[in-house]
Chain A
């Protein structure tokens, strides 16, 4: 499969105007590719992930084209998108731990969900049980209420349910953020395992934790203030990034085995711009140590090395 996103713009309606949270992003994901989507809070990564599945609440589709497996997805039409949800693309939401109806047994809820989508749950039950085993959940879980499970267990259950119909694209939204480190490892490994077994073809893994992406992702896409900053293989992003933002991001991570007593951890000075009325030109220029006059003009997101894209005048 493949996913092509072409100049997608999704804004949030507020009383003060439109917040331009996702302001024209264009990229591709190849068949079987796990792409990490990283960036700080408010950069638009969650908006991107969620807008592909459903535009809810204040989200407003402005323009852009989304193509999955050569079919154009009508993301602006809530009803039409139902065709594709769960079957062609699916999501493990950020709120996975509270994603299941608290007054329904998990097995019953899954059965009702499947039936309502035209899938006979009896037929798929053995597969469901197999997958539960794969992620380390016993069959009894199907007979339990969500409140009886730990956070990690609920997370894994949701992972299985979301991917049950083998979607082409899976969006994993901050699935490790609320977990302890050892569970994070397990969950990350599970994601890769799902891809290896063909349960899922491609993935977008949204997180602010780059170290997870390093373990899991083939490529990493870094976003900043609603625009794309850099996309390259995970190896390249971590070890030889080219966009100033990415470079500062990577270098601000503490290194293993080094003691930092007496020395402050360096962050990136300043804050991202407000997206209600975003500044013209490169949105990072106010915090960029390399900014110069050309940066008043918005840099295009282009390929600077094979498979390595970035949006910075200095690198083009």
Chain B
């Protein structure tokens, strides 16, 4: 915009259109240079600004009910998973011995550490339960982690590079998306019998990523089209630097929330697989507990202490994680904060 000259009457053509062409290109570049200089404040100011943003998030985080409650539930079960096996007085697969018999099909009691009772053939349900918790968290973290990484790489590359790369990756994502995850896992697990909890987690991770890739791609698109990235590009910043300094900080919160969702999904998928008998043999997971319980007519016989705890734990852990996510969304997005 320029200063209107005295002779210009109101209804003649605005000077603006002619004037811009007269401004020196040099001036423009120099002026832009000043703008860029202004953009990079002294390191200390930058640092305090970042600290301020983090502090502000922390302030909201500790006051957000959903986050606190969800986190509390998940942490509770995590602690139970870590320390529980030390509290259990029997091994998960142990039958009682003559010296130390375990009653069959016994409801919960404090005696002998059988807090959750025993199965129909005399195994300690609490011991199985806490081991199952460990496995559940392992599967969730690894499965969710792998899916997050793949989703991030695919989604981000597609969104950032655009063009042909985008088209190809998009097609790949859509194809994997179409295949019903469960059917695929079914076939793989049925024939290749999963050898352990980690292969199971990896398998789930390799199959669960498309949805995350899609979301991250959309997010990348919206970020790369923003001005601060264009500015960084203009000022000649290297590509990887742009990625790390400009885009990643904005995506990291989104990525974290995505990971939590993938964590929940992995836990549920693993439980379903195990329930069908496709999980790793030898270890007892929560899904397997329910499988065996069901196969042994626990419903008919009313052995509720067998089949209720495993599923309840999954519901609480995954539900807590989802709830936590809602709270996180409010912390990360100021617009959502309740007044």
Give residues in A with beta carbon < 8 Å to B: 13, 15, 58, 181-182, 184-185, 188-189, 192, 209-212, 214-216, 234, 238-239, 250, 253-257, 259-261, 264-265
Contacts and interface: CB of A to CB of B under 8 A. Distances in A.
Interface of B: 1-6, 8, 10-11, 13-20, 22-24, 26-27, 30-31, 34, 337, 339
Nearest to A207: B1
Contacts of A215: 4, 10-11, 14
B16 A211 contact: yes
Task: Summarize B's interface: helix, strand, loop or mixed.
Answer: loop
A212 B14 contact: yes
A254 B19 CA distance: 10
Contact of A257 (B6, B8, B11, B22): B22
Closest 10 CB pairs of A and B: A253-B3, A214-B4, A256-B19, A211-B1, A181-B17, A181-B16, A260-B27, A209-B1, A255-B3, A215-B14
Contacts of A253: 1-3
Nearest to A234: B10
A260 B24 contact: yes
Given A255-B2, A259-B27, A13 B14 contact: no
Given A257-B22, A261-B27, A185 B17 contact: yes
B6 A239 contact: yes
A234 to B, nearest CB: 8
Contact of A259 (B5, B6, B13, B24): B24
A181 B24 contact: no
A15 B2 contact: no
A214 B19 CA distance: 15
Contact of B3 (A15, A216, A256): A256
Contact of A15 (B1, B24, B337): B337
A265 B337 CA distance: 41
Nearest to A259: B24
Contacts of A264: 34
Given A259-B24, A259-B27, A261-B26, A254 B3 contact: yes
B259 to A, nearest CB: 28
